[in-house]
């Protein structure tokens, strides 16, 4: 029987990047249909942007990211990053691909890799167009689609849904009414998929 998981994530979240492939593999293995919701940290639910955390916590956060990146086989460039613009607009490419029935996972993967492993400025439309084009997608079409009403409406609705679902940080997975926050919770999600509900 096919199962459905709501997947809340942010292109600008390194944790979303680190856990992305692991979740995609888990979903494929367990015949899970993923419904993606893209947004940013939901501060009204208690989410905190890393830039607003005390330095001691930020230092630990950085060490933990590096540990998990090695576990997941991800290259993560955290130091010596150039000044980059807000990566949030890249979410619109992913939403457009999803709404058009394209490989939104591939689009998200290409953009996240470019931002977190190569420190490319995906906040700039020409940069993200080139990235997804080189990954085998129609970057020009996605660039045109990002301003369309259905894409913009889903972007707005995704944030409301995240807020109303109790989401505050990323990635978050919701299955059968149960919230799993963080890619380190994937083992618990998989157990739930097999009937072990908390």
> What is the residue extent of each domain of the chain?
4-194
With cut-offs at 50, 70 and 90, classify the pLDDT of residue 18: very high
pLDDT at residue 17, as a whole number: 97
Say if residue 120's pLDDT is above 90.
yes
Average pLDDT over residues 72-101: 94
> For residue 91, is pLDDT > 80?
yes
Cα-Cα-Cα-Cα dihedral of 179, 185, 189, 195, to 10°? -100
The beta strands (E) that lie in the chain are given as: 3-9, 32-38, 172-175, 178-181
Highest-scoring range by mean pLDDT, 33-47, 49-63, 162-176: 162-176
Confidence of residue 4 (pLDDT cuts 50, 70, 90): very high
What are residue 38's DSSP bridge partners?
9
Q: Tokens 């470019």 identify what position?
A: 114
User: What pLDDT was estimated at residue 48?
Assistant: 75
Q: What is the mean pLDDT of residues 74-98?
A: 93
Q: Please indicate whether residue 13 is annotated as part of the active site.
A: yes
> How much is the pLDDT for 54?
80
- 133 has pLDDT over 90: yes
Locus of tokens 């501060």 = 43
Choice between 90 and 2, residue whose per-residue pLDDT is larger: 90
Of 144, 140, 126, the C-alpha closest to 85 is 126
pLDDT over 90 (residue 198): no
pLDDT (0 to 100) of residue 98: 98
Catalytic-labelled residue, pool 13, 50, 85, 91 = 13
The 10s digit of each residue's pLDDT in 46-82 is 777 777 788 888 889 899 999 999 999 999 998 888 8
Architecture of the domain whose range is 4-194? 3-Layer(aba) Sandwich (3.40)
Distance between CA atoms of residues 80 and 72, nearest Å: 22
pLDDT score at 105: 98
Residue 106's pLDDT is 98
Strand order in the sheet with 172-175: 32-38, 3-9, 172-175, 178-181
Angle at alpha carbon of residue 179, lines to 71 and 167, rounded to 5°: 95
By mean pLDDT, which of 34-48, 60-74, 145-159, 181-195 is the weakest?
A: 34-48
């Amino acid at each position: 029987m096919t199962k459905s998981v709501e997947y809340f994530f942010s292109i600008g979240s390194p944790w979303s990047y680190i856990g992305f492939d692991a979740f995609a593999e888990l979903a494929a293995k367990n015949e899970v249909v993923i419904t993606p919701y893209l947004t940013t940290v939901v501060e009204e639910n208690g989410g905190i942007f890393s830039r607003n955390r005390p330095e001691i916590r930020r230092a630990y956060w950085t060490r933990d990211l590096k540990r998990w990146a090695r576990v997941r086989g991800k290259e993560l460039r955290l130091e010596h990053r150039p000044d980059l613009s807000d990566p949030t607009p890249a979410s619109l490419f992913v939403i457009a691909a999803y709404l058009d029935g394209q490989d939104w996972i591939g689009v998200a993967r290409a953009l996240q890799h470019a931002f977190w492993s190569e420190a490319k400025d995906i906040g700039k439309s020409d940069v993200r167009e080139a990235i997804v084009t080189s990954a085998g997608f129609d970057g020009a079409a996605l660039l045109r689609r990002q301003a369309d009403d259905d894409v913009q409406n889903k972007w707005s609705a995704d944030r409301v849904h995240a807020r109303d679902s109790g989401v505050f940080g990323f990635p978050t997975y919701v299955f059968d009414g149960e919230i799993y926050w963080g890619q380190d919770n994937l083992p618990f999600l998989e157990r739930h998929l097999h009937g072990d509900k908390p």
